[in-house]
Structure 1
Amino acid sequence: MTQPTVDPADALAELGRIRLDETSLDEMLRRIAELANRSVPGTRDVSVTLVRGRANWTAAFTGDVACQLDEWQYEQHRGPCLDASASGDSISVPEMAAEQRWPEWAARARAVGVESSLSIGLPIQGSVVGTLNVHGAAANAFDPAAIAIAERFAAYAAVALANAHLYDSAATLAEQMREAMRGRAVIEQAKGIIIGERRCSPEEAFALLSKISQDTNRKVRDVAKALVNQAVRRTRA
């Protein structure tokens, strides 16, 4: 059995120390895969599958073999990682040579040196679920103690991913709101310029911006920004 290079308790502690304001969701996923690979006994490679609706993808992996085995499941719409993500359960394949549920996948796994696997469901947030997929180079690589460690790690990882997903969504929304406010500000500036030049109402100024936007196939915000920049250049000339 492959011996871990990181104590499982230390791996959980490291997960808990990750700061969401300093770590992207992609980086969080990569660290989860690496920590699982280094802390679960018997592990050769690890991948993290994410599922949103009918879309499945491998969000992080420690070796190409793990990614390839995931991709086959996505193409065929069946396999332990997809079943585990749907159920939230742990699915163990102790011996690829004796696997009857997904014999074609098991044969592919054996061909690339994987003789056992463990997929653990990750309920993350809302419509997003996933699995932690752990692959072993030997049959029966994951004894009950190793499975317990992997399941405990997955439970912590699911919480970390849920928090990271929420933080990432909130940060994206905040940036979208800031961008909208910046766009509104430049539109108001452009309206002011038009009002000053044409002695028209705010409604008429916005109507003019909209017409230029339609005629030039540009966003109103971009038209307004160009007008403001032009006014600034005239002032400086």
Structure 2
Amino acid sequence: MTLQEQELAAAFARLTGEAAREPLDTQSLLTALVGGAVGLFGADGALAQYATGSSPVRTEGTSGDLRALVREAVVWSEGPGHDVRTTGCALIDVDVTTRPAHVRWPRWTSRAQALGIGRVTALPLLAKDGPSGALVLVGAPGSHLDEHALNLARSYSEAAAHVLSLQREVSESRVLAGQLEHALSSRVVVEQAKGIVSARYGIPMQEAFDRLRKYARSHQYKVADVARRITENPNELPF
């Protein structure tokens, strides 16, 4: 294993560590992602865009200027990061000083050139349901990624996408678990309230629930809220 490959393995470990950090923090993971990319591949800077579903696009860069650039790129819907994030297709060693690049990304290329950026390589961050982001390596005019570095960069972006997906799955599973717990808790409270109403009025459980539901609807309350009120004050039924 070469020194660069060893550094790549260490970068993978850092990404995994960030993904497992509590509380879960996607932004810190993106910070580790762009920082590792610069150190590994000799780029002058790196930036990232990442979004899932209808959530806002998260951005990161290795300097204040690059962070501003990537935020503006999202607003403008321009630049290599935007195109790769939305299409899932990589852009390799693009000269952004050319007229075609300026026509394609007029505002982005003007700002990028003002920052001394001449070439970019943008790699997709792919999730199971499609492209979710992009890692963009930027360099001065005349700079290039050699084939070996490009292959490593591809591996790095694929690993980062996998780690981001895992973090997203963990976060979503926690939300779902919380929703299920809340639903179960509400169901238990409703059953307790049905029992209280049934015992108080000497009626079947179904009729007790019907009274509970009718009262909730007529007062525009949630059934669970009325049930909780009854269980907390069983001697003061609202109906």
Query: Structure 1-normalised TM-score?
Result: 0.78
Q: CA deviation at 1:94?
A: 4.3
* 1:154 counterpart = 2:157: yes
Alignment of 1:21-40 (within 5 A): 22=22, 24=24, 26=26, 27-40=28-41
| Aligned AA (2:9) | A
Instruction: Call closer, same or farther: CA 1:186–1:59 in 2, change over 3 Å.
Output: farther
> Residues of 1 paired with 2:65 and 2:219: CA distance?
51
> Residues of 2 paired with 1:128 and 1:186: CA distance?
43
**Contact 1:58 / 1:67 at 8 angstroms: preserved in 2?**
no
| Aligned AA (1:211) | K
* 1:11 counterpart = 2:11: yes
**Contact 2:18 / 2:32 at 8 angstroms: preserved in 1?**
no
Instruction: Call closer, same or farther: CA 1:124–1:103 in 2, change over 3 Å.
Output: closer
Look up the match of 1:43.
Answer: 44
Q: CA deviation at 1:212?
A: 3.0
Look up the match of 1:139.
Answer: 141
* 1:114 counterpart = 2:117: yes
Q: Deviations over 1:149-191 (max 9, x none)?
A: 3222101112212222222222222221111111111111111
Q: Deviations over 1:90-138 (max 9, x none)?
A: 21354332252334121121234433322101111225522112333x2
The counterpart of 2:221, out of the listed 204, 213, 218, is 218
Look up the match of 2:83.
Answer: 83
**Contact 1:99 / 1:106 at 8 angstroms: preserved in 2?**
no
* 1:167 counterpart = 2:133: no
Which moves more between the two structures, 174-183 or 76-85? 76-85
* 1:231 counterpart = 2:223: no
**Contact 2:15 / 2:160 at 8 angstroms: preserved in 1?**
yes
Instruction: Call closer, same or farther: CA 1:65–1:124 in 2, change over 3 Å.
Output: farther
> Residues of 2 paired with 1:209 and 1:63: CA distance?
59
| Aligned AA (1:143) | L
**Contact 1:48 / 1:61 at 8 angstroms: preserved in 2?**
no
Aligned positions, number: 227
Unpaired runs of at least 5, structure 2: none
**Contact 1:125 / 1:165 at 8 angstroms: preserved in 2?**
no
SS of corresponding position for 1:82: helix
**Contact 1:119 / 1:131 at 8 angstroms: preserved in 2?**
yes
Instruction: Call closer, same or farther: CA 1:158–1:23 in 2, change over 3 Å.
Output: farther
| Aligned AA (1:7) | E
> Residues of 2 paired with 1:42 and 1:16: CA distance?
22
> Residues of 1 paired with 2:204 and 2:180: CA distance?
27
Which moves more between the two structures, 25-34 or 207-216? 25-34
Look up the match of 2:100.
Answer: 100
**Contact 2:212 / 2:227 at 8 angstroms: preserved in 1?**
yes
> Residues of 2 paired with 1:52 and 1:19: CA distance?
19
**Contact 2:51 / 2:57 at 8 angstroms: preserved in 1?**
yes
**Contact 1:30 / 1:60 at 8 angstroms: preserved in 2?**
yes
SS of corresponding position for 2:231: helix
> Could you say what the CA RMSD is over the residues aligned between the two structures, in angstroms?
3.1
Q: CA deviation at 1:220?
A: 1.6
Alignment of 1:199-214 (within 5 A): 199-214=202-217
Q: CA deviation at 1:19?
A: 6.0
Instruction: Call closer, same or farther: CA 1:42–1:59 in 2, change over 3 Å.
Output: closer
